[in-house]
């Protein structure tokens, strides 16, 4: 399974900043350590079997070209990021220090999602070891999301394959409001989001299907809702491609997610989704989404576990 990554996904932030930038290099190291270049003995072998190492490869990316980014975002907004000239309210909303280096870092992340998109169409499953920046709108960023990588990839696909039906499967703990807004009028894109109703973002934008859960929902209730709502929407829409924004923030020890999923619940979530997309042979690009565990290393472990699980479902 092909994964895409760049060391500069980790952008330097002050130590006290709440965004855990270190999760990108930490997770990549865990994925590298937990994987093998050799083909797996069985495509569905359990991860806890030490004899088994999922097979994957990690590839570098270059920043996404501006003309692709401009298919979604306004030039004014990109200039405000590049020159660090966001007004104080917009800067607060974004939560990251706007500057040219941040824009370049965000273009790298977009490139990883673009590469994973095309790899998924060829191979079935592929990952960007970042991405899923679903709170970004065309003319502003919010919630640590500068550019909307999924929207840019969908717009790029639709240039050459306008008929392609795309399912955005968002299991991050927060609603994918930016992506919902961008594709609100596009019947070729189905936006599914399962999230806490009374949590960030305060103002929601309706998607094709929003599954709103109560604060501090437990794993059993979460999985019941996921299983009851996802498959019917998925089969009804019959997508040609899935973007799965996995999200590590539904975890019980996350600072912002307000859900109570355990590590075992994450395994069940991931396996449910991976079974659905692989049994139906639906190409799927897997992206990180958010993760703000009180234990920073744990955030990286959750992201890495999702990628390694996906590799066990991969059939070349």
Both tokens assigned to 218: 């437990």
Instruction: Give CA angle at 68 (66, 72), nearest 5°.
Output: 105
| Residue 287-306 contact track with Zn ion, rule CB under 5 A, x = bound | ---x----------------
Can you read off the two tokens belonging to residue 134? 């679903």
Q: How far is the CB of 308 from Zn ion (least distance, A)?
A: 21
From 68-76, 78-86, 216-224, 248-256, give the range in contact with Zn ion by CB under 5 A. 248-256
Is residue 194 within 8 Å of 174, Cβ to Cβ?
no
32 versus 93: smaller Cβ distance to Zn ion: 93
174 binds Zn ion (CB under 5 A): yes
Report CA-CA distances (Å) from 115 to 106, 111, 122, 287. Answer: 14, 6, 11, 12
Stretch that binds Zn ion, among 37-45, 98-106, 241-249, 268-276 (CB under 5 A): 241-249
Q: Which is nearer to Zn ion, 35 or 199 (CB)?
A: 199
Binds Zn ion by CB under 5 A, chosen from 249, 254, 265, 270: 249
Q: Residue 73 Cβ, how far from Zn ion at the closest point, in Å? A: 20
**Residues in CB range of 288: below 8 A, 6 or more apart:** 23, 27, 128, 129, 130, 131, 132, 245, 246, 247, 248, 303
Window 12 to 71, contacts with Zn ion (CB under 5 A): none
Shortest separation between residue 144's beta carbon and Zn ion, angstroms:
9
Least spacing, CB of residue 85 vs Zn ion, in Å: 27
Tell me the C-alpha distance between 315 and 310, whole Å: 10
Tokens encoding 304 = 């890495």
Based on CB atoms, which residue is closest to Zn ion, 119 or 130?
130
Span near Zn ion by CB under 5 A; candidates 92-100, 206-214, 247-255, 259-267: 247-255
**Residue 175: CB atoms within 10 Å:** 28
Residue with the two structure tokens 């191979």: 123
User: Which residues are near Zn ion by CB under 5 A?
Assistant: 172-174, 249, 290
């Amino acid at each position: 399974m092909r994964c895409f990554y760049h060391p500069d996904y980790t952008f330097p932030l002050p130590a006290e900043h709440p965004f855990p930038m270190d999760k990108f290099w930490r997770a990549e190291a865990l994925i590298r350590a937990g994987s093998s270049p050799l083909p797996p003995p069985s495509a569905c072998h359990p991860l806890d079997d030490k004899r088994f190492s999922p097979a994957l490869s990690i590839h570098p990316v270059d920043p996404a070209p501006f003309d692709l980014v401009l298919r979604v975002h306004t030039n004014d907004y990109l200039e405000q990021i590049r020159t660090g000239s966001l007004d104080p309210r917009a800067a607060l909303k974004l939560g990251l220090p706007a500057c040219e280096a941040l824009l370049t870092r965000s273009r790298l992340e977009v490139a990883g999602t673009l590469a994973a998109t095309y790899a998924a169409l060829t191979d079935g499953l592929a990952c960007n070891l970042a991405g899923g920046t679903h709170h970004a709108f065309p003319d502003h960023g919010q919630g640590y999301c500068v550019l909307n990588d999924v929207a840019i990839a969908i717009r790029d696909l639709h240039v050459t394959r306008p008929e392609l039906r795309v399912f955005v499967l968002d299991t991050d703990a927060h609603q994918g409001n930016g992506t919902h807004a961008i594709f609100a009028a596009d019947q070729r894109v189905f936006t599914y989001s399962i999230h806490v109703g009374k949590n960030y973002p305060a103002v929601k934008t309706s998607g094709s299907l929003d599954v709103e859960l109560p604060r501090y929902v437990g794993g059993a209730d979460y999985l019941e809702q996921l299983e009851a709502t996802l498959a019917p929407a998925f089969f009804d829409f019959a997508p040609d491609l899935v973007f799965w924004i996995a999200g590590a923030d539904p975890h019980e020890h996350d600072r912002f997610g307000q859900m109570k999923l355990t590590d075992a619940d994450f395994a069940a979530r991931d396996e449910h989704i991976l079974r659905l997309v692989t049994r139906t042979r639906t190409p799927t690009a897997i992206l990180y989404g958010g993760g703000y565990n009180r234990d920073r290393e744990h955030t990286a472990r959750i992201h890495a576990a999702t990628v390694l699980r996906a590799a066990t479902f991969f059939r070349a």
